[in-house]
Amino acid sequence: MAISVPILALITSLHLIAFVFAVGAERRRSSAKVVADQYDERTYCVYTTDASTVYGLCAFGLLLLSQTVVNGVTRCLCCGKGLVSGSSSTTCAIVFFVISWISFLGAEACLLAGSARNAYHTRYRGIFGGDDLSCATLRKGVFAGGAALTLLSLLGSIFFYWAHSRADTGGWQKHENEGLGMTSSAYAQQPPEFRKVQL
């Protein structure tokens, strides 16, 4: 199977757009501050925009789509026509397959957990002047970790696709051997005088 440039471009672009969304989610994390209620002696949390949640979910979806494309084209390494056994390309394909899946699952976990945590807003009200009110926010670095794992998933997916394309026989070896066998046996069964005429 030859490497398809459009598929390679699609995988790369989806990963890179997901990376941009993950970085945007890290920069637009929701923050909160404690504000005193003007009508009574209580305080409450005021949160900023939830854009980070939307960015994180967009990155999650794009990364999932890209991984689906990679595994659809390569048939998830186990449902295809077969790889060349014992070659270095097959070993590389298996290694990068594992790397791409581990980094993909890690990135998806960071993006999904970060989006869910960023969307959670504390609704607790405290007595003014009493204990400090804790406003729950997403800690720094969760979306950044998802962005880093997205880049690692991009590299793993590209190298996996490249190694799989080099190691994929596409059924050619089997048919090639069958064709050679039929030609040799048909020639061997011909009478010697017929062979001389042909030559």
Sign of CA dihedral 56, 61, 66, 72: positive
CA 47 – CA 102 distance, rounded (Å):
34
3-state secondary structure of 47: strand
**DSSP conformational letter for 83:** B
| pLDDT classification of 14: cutoffs 50, 70, 90 | very high
For position 45, what pLDDT does the model report? 82
For position 3, what pLDDT does the model report? 81
For position 69, what pLDDT does the model report? 94
Does residue 142 carry a pLDDT above 70? Answer: yes
For position 43, what pLDDT does the model report? 77
Does residue 179 carry a pLDDT above 60? Answer: no
Between 1 and 161, the more confident residue is 161
For position 9, what pLDDT does the model report? 94
Q: Determine whether 12 is exposed, middle or buried from the number of CB atoms within 10 Å of its CB (0-12, 13-18, 19+).
A: middle
For position 26, what pLDDT does the model report? 92
Q: What is the pTM of this model?
A: 0.74
Of residues 29, 2, 21, 4, the one with CA closest to residue 64: 21
CA 115 – CA 67 distance, rounded (Å):
20
| pLDDT tens digits, 16-63 | 999 999 999 999 888 888 777 777 777 778 888 888 999 999 999 999
CA 15 – CA 63 distance, rounded (Å):
6
What average pLDDT score do residues 3-23 get?
A: 94
CA 191 – CA 196 distance, rounded (Å):
9
